[in-house]
Every structure is written in C-alpha cells, then in structure tokens.
Amino acid sequence: MYELNWSLLIALLSLVISIFGLYNSWKSRINNEKFWMKEQYYKSLGEAVKIEPSHEYIASKATESSVVIYNKSDFKVYDVVVLQGLNNMDLFNGQCISKVCYIREIRGQYCEHFTMKHKGLGMSKFLVIGVFFRDFQGKEWFRDSYGITKNGEGYKDRLSKLHLISPPYPHKIDNQ
C-alpha cells in the first residue's frame, strides 16, 4: 500500500494558503487605491469653485458687485458659468438679475476676479452667486454661495435654452 506523504500535503496546503493570502492582499490594495482616489476626488470637488467676497476689488457703483471665484483644488475646472441673483431666486434653474459670466477654465490654486452689474436690490434682499462648472473628470456641478453643491448635468443646454449663454462660448464674458 502507498503511504501518505504528510510533508508534501503540508507543503501544498501552505502554498494554497499563501496564494489565498496574496490574493486577499492584492484585493485590499486595489480597494484602498479606489477608496483613496474617490476621497481625493470628493476632496478636490469640495475645494473647487469657492465663492468668497472680494475685499481687494470693491465695486465702484451700487449696481455692481465684485465676485471672486477660487479654485482651491489642485485640478482645473472648465466651462465655468457664474449667475448672480437675489436670495429668493432659483439660480439652479436660471433665474438671475444680470448677464452671466463665462470663464473657459480656472486652473488649480487660482482665483478669478470680476465685477457683475445688476439692477439693484430690494428690501430685505441680498445677492447670491451660483456657479456651474465641469470638473477634471468631465462631471458637471452647480455650487452656490451658500456652499450647496448639486449635480448640474446638462447645464449648458439648459442655460442656452433660457438665452443666458449661447455657443460658441467666448473666453470670458463680463459686464466691464
């Protein structure tokens, strides 16, 4: 009768366990990389297109407002459309009180200064800025001066139908 070789069986079992351990390690690394890239993406999205008041560039008239758009992420944002409205307006759906400003791209760690004209405020009204933009992965977003970020998919078509922007889009439109 053939005698069972325990050392060969232990060696095969060790090989199977080693391969299983390598596979689990590889899967864990892939998942960690995906998680890290996703975290970096959302962190960069959170830093992209911040709207802050401009203290350096003060508007010269009561019917002008000074706007500063910061891109504090490391990645560029593209096709930036800035709308200005009152606190009771729905900027996401194109309600605004001035011409829009279009900027082709804002590179990472950069800010864009400009003034926007408006027709004036009303009682208990204040200006709110809304920004549509496309991120480095091609996804379209909307962010307002309250810091609320929404999916802005198809914003150029929607704003074109409202005659707020029209293709071909110039490098920069503003009211100066």
pLDDT mean for each 10 residues of the chain (176 residues): 78 92 88 71 67 55 77 85 86 85 86 77 76 88 86 88 75 42
Q: Where are the alpha helices (DSSP H) in the chain?
A: 6-47, 155-161
pLDDT at 176: 34
pLDDT at 102: 87
pTM listed for this prediction = 0.65
Shared domain for 85 and 164, answered yes or no, is: yes
How many domains does one find in the chain?
A: 2
Sheet hosting strand 149-151, strand order edge to edge: 149-151, 140-144, 127-134, 77-86, 101-106, 172-173
Token duo for residue 49 = 């297109």
Token duo for residue 114 = 């400009």
Shared domain for 57 and 100, answered yes or no, is: yes
Shared domain for 130 and 167, answered yes or no, is: yes
Residue at token pair 């593209």: 78
52-58 contact pairs (CB < 8 A, 24+): 54/113, 56/113, 57/113, 57/115
Shared domain for 37 and 92, answered yes or no, is: no
Domain membership of residue 42 as a residue range:
1-47
pLDDT at 16: 93
- Exposed, middle or buried: residue 74 (CB in 10 Å: 0-12, 13-18, 19+)? middle
Shared domain for 150 and 76, answered yes or no, is: yes
Q: Are 70 and 56 in contact (CB under 8 A)?
A: no
Shared domain for 94 and 43, answered yes or no, is: no
Round to whole Å and give the CA distance between 39 and 33.
Answer: 10
The end-to-end CA distance of the chain, in Å, is 99
Residue at token pair 């074109």: 160
Shared domain for 165 and 95, answered yes or no, is: yes
Task: Name the helix (H) or strand (E) containing 79.
Answer: strand 77-86
68 CB-side CA count, 13 A? 12
CATH number, residue 87: 2.60.40
Give tens-digit pLDDT for 49-69.
766 655 555 555 667 778 888
Shared domain for 6 and 62, answered yes or no, is: no
Shared domain for 42 and 61, answered yes or no, is: no
